[in-house]
Structures are given as structure tokens and as C-alpha cells.
Structure 1
Amino acid sequence: MNAKNPLHGITLEGLLKELVAHYGWEDLGQRIDIRCFNHDPNIKSSLIFLRKTPWARDRVEALFVQMRKAQAKKAE
């Protein structure tokens, strides 16, 4: 993982799939309250929304970085 950019080399789809696998749609929808996570959630519609909505994408990316840091701490 690149220390300066922890998202380097990770696609939005890969990032989202990893978050869903870790948290599940329900918990993800509670952590980031956006409609595409709370009403009939799926990867395709979420990707469309996140690509068009910078503030939502920023929140999802921040949660991903936070999750990865927590996982790295556990691994130590």
C-alpha cells in the first residue's frame, strides 16, 4: 500500500465490494446514510451514484481507509 495514497491501485468497485463484505449493506447504510445503501442496495446502482456524487464518494473512500487502518492495527 502506498503510504501517501492508501487508495492507489484500488478501483471504486473493488473498494465498495470490500466494504460490503466487511460491513454488509445494512451497517454500511447506517455508517453512510445515502439512499443507494439503504433502499434496494446493489453494487451497480451504488457505483453509478458514487461516480456522479463526489461528496458521497469521499465518505465511502474515507470509511474504506479507516477500515483498512483498523485491519492493519489488528494484524500487528
Structure 2
Amino acid sequence: MSDQPNNPLHGVKLEQIVTELQAHYGWEYMGYQINIRCFTHNPSVKSSLKFLRRTPWARTRVEKMYLEMLSKRR
């Protein structure tokens, strides 16, 4: 039984979030929306994960972008 039944991020790995956003929007749009170097200069999932794991404000913005993408898909 899940402790967070209404949390759409529960059980979703950061790598999955970045990969899905990149596939849906592409690095250029992601870098435009959230101006961080790991999206604008030689972007990769690996570099993005490294940065986002140690930068809470950026991770929060990426998670928000992911939730907005999910709500638009519905």
C-alpha cells in the first residue's frame, strides 16, 4: 500500500523524469524554460542528473515542469 497515493512523483525516478522531459520537449526548450548549464551546454541525462541531485531549487523546477507535462497529456 502506498503512503502517498495522490503524489504523482511517488515512485518516479529522477532519471525517468529527465528522460521523459527530454523526449517530449528536447534539451533546447528545457534550457529555455529552466536556464541551467546542464540543459544548455552539451546536455546529457548523466550531467543533468548529477546537477539536479545536488541542486534542490533546480530539481524542484524540473519536477514542476514534469507535472505540468503530465497534466497536459491527460
Task: Give the TM-score of the pair, scaled to structure 1.
Answer: 0.89
Match of 1:59 in 2: 61
What count of residue pairs does the alignment treat as equivalent? 71
User: Gaps spanning 5+ residues in structure 2: where?
Assistant: none
Give per-residue Cα distances to partners, 1:6-51, cap 9 Å, x unaligned: 1011100001000000000001100111111000000101000000
User: Gaps spanning 5+ residues in structure 1: where?
Assistant: none
**Distance in 2, Cα, partners of 1:29 & 1:46:** 11
Q: CA RMSD in A?
A: 1.1
Give the number of the structure whose residues are more often helix, by fraction: 1
2:44 to 28, 31, 42: 42
State the identity %: 55
Which segments of structure 1 move beyond 6 Å, counting only runs of 4 or more?
none
Match of 2:70 in 1: 68
